[in-house]
Amino acid sequence: MAQDTLSLYGVSMLSRLIVGTAQYPSPAILAAAIRAGQPEIVTVSLRRESGASRAGEDFWALIRELGVRVLPNTAGCRTVKEAVTTAEMAREVFDTRWIKLEVIGEEDTLQPDVFGLVEAAQILVRDGFQVFPYTTEDLVVAEKLLAAGCEVLMPWGAPIGTGRGLNNPYGLRALRAHFPDTPLIVDAGLGAPSHAAAAMELGVDAILLNTAIAKAGDPVVMARAFALAVEAGRLGFLADPMQPRDMASPSTPVIGRAFSGAQRA
């Protein structure tokens, strides 16, 4: 089987697991979890770590040592202006055109403000950014984000940090069907490796998660579990699984089955 790579803005990746770097018990556990899960991309919040200041030097040294690619995000931003300003600062600090764009519109669910998201994406793409938009599974919003110049979509699985899994599998299937050539990365709300496998079996291209690993009893083991689940789900999708049916179908054929004398009579 040929290498199954994922291309994001022209960068080829072997791993389909992307890991956040917040909330870990310690830098050592974060490093061990990244080594166990083997992601090639990690997300970093500019508000939490600064690559240019002394406060962020240890973290930045850790990221360099691990050899992973950084995807800065605009976590916590609630207006277009705030998100754009944060993205511009992140480009300077982390020396990358990549940005995970978040514009939060609702406090209880942290649901994206899709109107602000599209507006911010238009501004950032014009300014040379390669935008990874955190969005819902709405097809119309997806169309507008792609028209704005985004080449990746990051639909949520469930609200951030809830661990509920996939709230709308139908919506994710619809996204996959409507945009077969666009990388889809399920971001937020997954709590167990089975959730990641289920998402990958729907045909999404990658999984991004943070809390489910960082807050696990053993983040290192959980990172490895998610890595295996993502791989299993991807292979399951590629293998073209059987479709569910309403009636039973014997796995052992009747032809050739032995019959007793009484049955023949």
Average pLDDT on 30-47 reads 92
Q: Which two tokens stand for residue 257?
A: 């089955």
Q: What is the structure's pLDDT at 203?
A: 96
Using DSSP's 3-state secondary structure scheme, residue 231 falls into helix
Q: What is the structure's pLDDT at 46?
A: 75
Q: Which of 81, 100, 144, 215 is catalytic?
A: 100
Known active-site residue 100: yes
* N residues, the chain: 265
* CA–CA distance, 110 with 154 (Å, rounded to integer): 15
Average pLDDT on 122-126 reads 98
Highest CATH level, class, for 6-238? alpha beta
Q: What is the residue-averaged pLDDT of the chain? A: 91
210 is in an annotated binding site: yes
**Choice between 229 and 265, residue whose per-residue pLDDT is larger:** 229
Given a cut of 90, whether residue 156 has pLDDT beyond it is yes
Global pTM value: 0.90
Distances (CA, A) of 256 to 241, 253, 260, 264: 27, 8, 13, 14
E strand residue ranges, the chain? 6-8, 11-13, 17-20, 41-45, 69-73, 98-101, 130-135, 154-155, 185-187, 206-209
**Choice between 58 and 27, residue whose per-residue pLDDT is larger:** 27
Q: Which of 92-96, 154-158, 200-204, 250-254 has the lowest mean pLDDT?
A: 250-254
Domain layout of the chain by residue ranges: 6-238
The packing angle between helices 139-148 and 169-178, to 10°, is 40
**Choice between 242 and 256, residue whose per-residue pLDDT is larger:** 242
211 is in an annotated binding site: yes
Q: What is the structure's pLDDT at 260?
A: 60
Q: What is the structure's pLDDT at 132?
A: 98
Distances (CA, A) of 237 to 19, 137, 166, 197, 243: 22, 20, 17, 10, 12
Q: Per residue in 95-109, pLDDT tens? A: 999 999 999 998 889
Q: Which of 34-43, 53-62, 82-91 has the lowest mean pLDDT?
A: 53-62
189 is in an annotated binding site: yes
Given a cut of 60, whether residue 49 has pLDDT beyond it is no
**Choice between 62 and 156, residue whose per-residue pLDDT is larger:** 156
Given a cut of 90, whether residue 53 has pLDDT beyond it is no
Given a cut of 90, whether residue 57 has pLDDT beyond it is no
Q: Which two tokens stand for residue 232?
A: 């299993």
pLDDT above 90 coverage of the chain, percent: 77
Given a cut of 70, whether residue 259 has pLDDT beyond it is no
pLDDT above 70 coverage of the chain, percent: 91
Q: What is the structure's pLDDT at 254?
A: 65
Q: Per residue in 207-234, pLDDT tens? A: 999 999 999 999 999 999 999 999 999 9
